[in-house]
Chains A and B, each alone.
Chain A
Amino acid sequence: MFQKSDLDELFNDLEGSHGATEDYDRLLKQTHLAIALFDAKKPLDDQFDPIVVELVAKHQPGG
C-alpha cells in the first residue's frame, strides 16, 4: 500500500513533469484513481494514460 513518502515522491514527480501542462488535472485525477486501485490490488486497464501507469509502477511500494 502506498505510504505518505511514496505518495509525496510520486506527486512531486507528476507535478514536476506535467504540473504546468493543460493535462495536469486529468493526469492527477487518473493517478489518484490508479493508486486507489493499486492499493485495492486491482489491475489498471487500458483506459489509464501510459504516463500514469508508468508513474505508479515507478513509485509503487517495494517497486
Chain B
Amino acid sequence: MEAFLQQLFAGLATGGIYASLALALVMIYQATHQVNFAQGEMAMFSTFIAWTLIQAGLPYWVAFFATVAISFVIAAVIEFTIIRPLHKAPELSVVVVFIGLLVIFHSVAGFLFGSQIKQFPTPFEPTAWYGTSYLSPHQVGTIFVALCIVAALFAFFGFTTLGLKMRAAAQNPGSSRLLGVNVGRMLMLGWGLAGAIGAIAGMMVAPVVFLDPGMMTGVLIYAFAGALIGGIDNPVGAIVGGFLVGVLENLIGSYIVGTELKLSVALILIVGVLVVRPAGLMGRVVVQRV
C-alpha cells in the first residue's frame, strides 16, 4: 500500500508538469486550432535561458520571472513572424513549419548552451517544512505551481476584460473584429502566455530530469496525451488530463509494463483516446453532418 501511494503521489507530481505543458498546448489550440509541436522545445529553450541567468549570478526567483517574461516575448514574436502568415495554408504546411520550429529550437539550444547535462536548481529546499514522506518538497512545489497557474489563468480569462477579448478572438475571430477586438494582438498574447507557461513547466521539470536539449521530448508526448484525454479545447480538461496521465504513467509503468516502456504507454493512451473518444473527457464533441 505504501509503495502504491508513493507511486500515486509521484504520478501527481509529474502530472503537474504535464498539466502545465498541456495547458500551454490547449491555449494555442483554442486560439488557432493548431497543435504546437514545438512547445516542448520552446520550454526547454526557456529553461536554458533561466539556467544562463542563474549562472550569471541572478537569484532564482529573479531569473524565474525574467525567463517567463523573455519566453512570453519569444513566443509572441514567433506567432507574429512565422505562424500568422500561414493561417490560410493547408494543414500539412502548418505541421511542417511547427516541426521546423521544433528542430530549430532544439539545435540552437544545443549550439548556444552545449549538450552536456546540467544541473538545474530547485527553489524548494529538500528539507523544507512542506515535504512529506510521499512527496519531496520539490514535488509539492510543482503541484502547487501548476495549481497556481490554473488559478491565475482562470481568474484572468474569467474576470478580466483582456481575458474576455482573448476568448472572443479564439471563439469567433470574425465577429470579434467587428466588435473592435484586435484579433492579431490577441493571438500574440495567447502564444506569449503559452510560451510563458511552457517555460514554467520546463523550470519545474529540469531539477528532476537534469537539463539537456532532449529534456522535453518525452514530456511533450505525455502533455499531448494529457491534453487529448482532457479534451484539446478545454483548459480544465488539460489540467485534469495532465494529472491523470502522470498518475497512469507511473502506475502502469511500475506495475504492468516496466519503466522502459512508459513512453509507449503514452502512445497507447494517445491512440486509444483518439480512436475511442477524440473529444476527450471534457472536450466538446463535434458532430459532422454531411
A and B bound? Answer: no
